[in-house]
Amino acid sequence: MSILISTAGMAQSGPLPASTRAGIDAGNQAWIAGVKTGNTSLIVDTYAENAVDCGPTGDCLRGRLQIAQHLKQQLAANGRAHSAAVDSWGTSQHGSFVYEWGQAEAAFDDGKQLAERYLTVWQLQKDGSWKIFRNMVIPDK
């Protein structure tokens, strides 16, 4: 008996193509700019229409409308961040999806600090842009 293994569906190894990396970096930069300016539209625009965004407790928001409402509530409660950064620790591409993991950080004027590890699945859109398809904050414990 022989087993045939197809590599057609396997993840791409090595660095992402430059245009893909640029699209994902632009999405991460939009989050930084959005939390620093209070412009939630910058952040919401990085999500696909059917996106799912899950917090550290496992509660998930479905669709851009719910995500936008949640972001507005968060920024209203925290205010604008005076500093923010996204540190992408790694990526792996599988067809029209890129899996990215890392840590997002923000510091607010009231002293509140945000440091969340994440796993984000980016999806290639019909227009050639990359949008967040699934996002999950990974809890510390």
Q: What is the pLDDT of residue 110?
A: 85
Predicted pLDDT at 140: 85
Cα separation, 81 vs 77, whole angstroms: 11
**Amino acid identity of 21?**
R
Which residue ranges make up each domain of the chain? 18-138
* CATH number listed for the domain at residues 18-138: 3.10.450.50
pLDDT of residue 141: 75
Average pLDDT, 10 consecutive residues per value, the chain (141 residues): 45 79 97 96 97 96 97 91 96 96 94 94 97 96 75
The CA distance from 115 to 38, in Å, is: 18
* pLDDT value at residue 6: 38
> What's residue 119's pLDDT?
98
